[in-house]
A and B are shown apart, each in its own frame.
Chain A
Amino acid sequence: MNLTTETAKQWLLAAGRDMQENKGYLSELDQAIGDGDHGHNMARGFAEVEKKIASKTYDDVGGVVKDASMTIISKVGGAAGPLYGTAFLKASGVWKGKAEVSDEEFAEGLKAAIDGIAQRGKSEQGQKTMLDVWIPVLQEAEKGNIEAEQLAQTAKEAMEKTEGIEAKKGRAAYLGERSIGHLDPGAYSSYLLFEALVEAIEAGGEANG
């Protein structure tokens, strides 16, 4: 996988567009097992990310991802804001100073992001949260020779699996067993994020010839 600074920027911009397009759906998912604000939070936050990064030039992947993380922390709110913000912030530390990240470094960044989410959210895999998407994606990435397409496929399957899980963290946990049968909104937005990566990578490939 070829993740350059420009591709990383395109990734975040594509993610923003996906959040915007799926704003209603994400909030609907959150309405069922939370408080119905997840799509609005993500769309509002990523619109600010676009404003922040679109016309700026960056020298390293870490730089653009860090700008996104700070914007997410200060604009998203809710539970998703500190969690996504922390995730990107931790990843940006690993990708700092790198104009292009190798597959191995990409996986390291994901790992740091996941540790950040787990620490901030005091959460782990299997609790019907975004981690149920991030962790399988990391496991896929750690195999090496990363294909963005494959990561997105893993994310999709993992997201779909959250339907059968009982929520143990976040607002959905108040529902206990009644949370089963619904997709987790944070897992869905995480899936959108990894799908946006595919698009950015493919577009980047074309741009490079």
Chain B
Amino acid sequence: MKKLINQTDDILDEMLEGMVAAHPNEIKRLAETNVIVRSNAPIKGKVGLVSGGGSGHEPAHAGYVGHKLLDAAVCGEVFTSPTPDQVYEAIKAVDGGVGVLLIVKNYSGDVMNFDMAADMAKDEGIKVEQVIIRDDVAIANPEDRRGVAGTIFVHKIAGAAAESGKSLKDIAELAQKTADNVFSMGVSLSPSIVPASGKPGFELKEDEMEIGTGIHGEQGIERKTLKPADEIAEELVQNLLKHMDIKNSRIALMINGQGSTPLMELYIMNRKVSELLNEKQAEIKKTFVGEYMTSIEMAGCSVSILKLDDELEYFLH
């Protein structure tokens, strides 16, 4: 294991200190927690947005704390969901009196920890709604689908809507609509190494790739010989389009790097993906190419497609 770290036990703490040092005007860390909140939290009369999960996915989620985005991010240990008391502290810190929306990726740990925190907050009289993101089509059963890079669209859309002064109920519905219309799928070329274990999460031969990996390197649908980018793009798009009809629709697109894949390769992927989507007569309104939801140093990318309507497009602009 070769990493720019000090002690493995200090990784989370030191990363958060570094983040706050970089953006002291925008964010702060809640004392004695691993929660990052907007420096002006709570904002009176504005619905608070809280997300979070295991660390190692930076910029998710602490990097999305800010104007027209999240009010708080709860950061767990690397690839381990945060505990309910931390989520609860985040909820309390950002409640501006009109309630808090929790944006949760569908991983059993995250779902349970956020759910416990929601119960704790409700007991204290705070209004809490939750939206669970399930965008990873590599899992067949829709209920079991993992939450991956599509979550970022929810942050952006719900964040803009919250800033505009919408109610908790409206924002929860809008977030749910976003979640229902976003689909993602990944491909990985090499694994990530969780610092505490020091070992790769899975093994791939030099000429192999895995289609459909989750953001912690969970096994995907198929492991096979690495192919040229255009063929991989085609396979991912084909899989995504089994779940959505984009003909003559407006869409937003995200080509997300998993951690150690250069932008150069992401643009090569985007070239083919956007070509294929244009062929399907989809109108790509907005494209995001870059690292939005990483998996430490995993190599590869994910493709997310969000089908837009007027409202989603308006808040994503």
Contact = CB atoms under 8 A, between A and B. Distances in A.
Interface of A: 27, 31, 35-37, 40-41, 44, 73-83, 86, 120-121, 169-171, 173-175, 178
A74 B83 contact: yes
20 contacts: A27-B197, A31-B199, A35-B194, A35-B201, A36-B194, A36-B201, A41-B80, A44-B77, A74-B86, A78-B80, A81-B81, A81-B109, A82-B84, A121-B108, A170-B108, A171-B108, A171-B216, A174-B144, A174-B214, A174-B218
Interface in B161-218: 194, 196-197, 199, 201, 214, 216-218
B76 interface: yes
B80 A73 contact: no
Contact of A37 (B79, B83, B144, B217): B79
Contacts of A41: 77, 80
B82 interface: yes
Contacts of A174: 139, 144, 146, 214, 218-219
A128 B1 CA distance: 32
A15 B217 CA distance: 30
Interface residues of B, number: 30
A82 B196 contact: no
A77 B83 contact: yes
B113 interface: yes
Contacts of A36: 194, 197, 199, 201
Contacts of B246: none
A contact patch SS: helix
B315 interface: no
A44 B79 CA distance: 15
Nearest to B217: A35
Nearest to A39: B197
Given A121-B108, A121-B112, A171-B107, 20 more contacts: A35-B194, A36-B194, A36-B201, A37-B77, A37-B196, A40-B196, A44-B77, A73-B84, A73-B116, A74-B86, A76-B83, A77-B80, A77-B82, A79-B108, A81-B81, A81-B113, A170-B108, A174-B139, A174-B214, A174-B219
Contacts of A80: 109
B116 A35 contact: no
A91 B95 CA distance: 33
B84 A74 contact: yes
Nearest to B202: A31
B116 A82 contact: yes
A148 B204 CA distance: 45
A36 B80 CA distance: 10
A155 B262 CA distance: 49
Nearest to B114: A82
Leading 5 A-B pairs by shortest Cβ distance: A82-B112, A79-B109, A74-B85, A78-B109, A77-B80
A40 B197 contact: yes
Contacts of B196: 37, 40
Scoring A73, A74, A81, A178 by chain B CB atoms within 10 A of each residue's CB, the highest score goes to A81
Interface string B106-128: 01110011011000000000000
Nearest to B140: A176
B206 to A, nearest CB: 21
Nearest to B145: A174
Contacts of B115: 82, 120
Contacts of B216: 35, 171
Contact of B113 (A37, A40, A44, A77): A77
A41 B83 CA distance: 11
A157 B112 CA distance: 28
Nearest to A72: B83
Contacts of B107: 171
A71 to B, nearest CB: 10
Given A36-B197, A73-B85, A74-B85, A178 B80 contact: no
Contacts of A86: 116
Contacts of A83: 112
Contacts of B76: 77
Contacts of A81: 81, 83, 109, 113
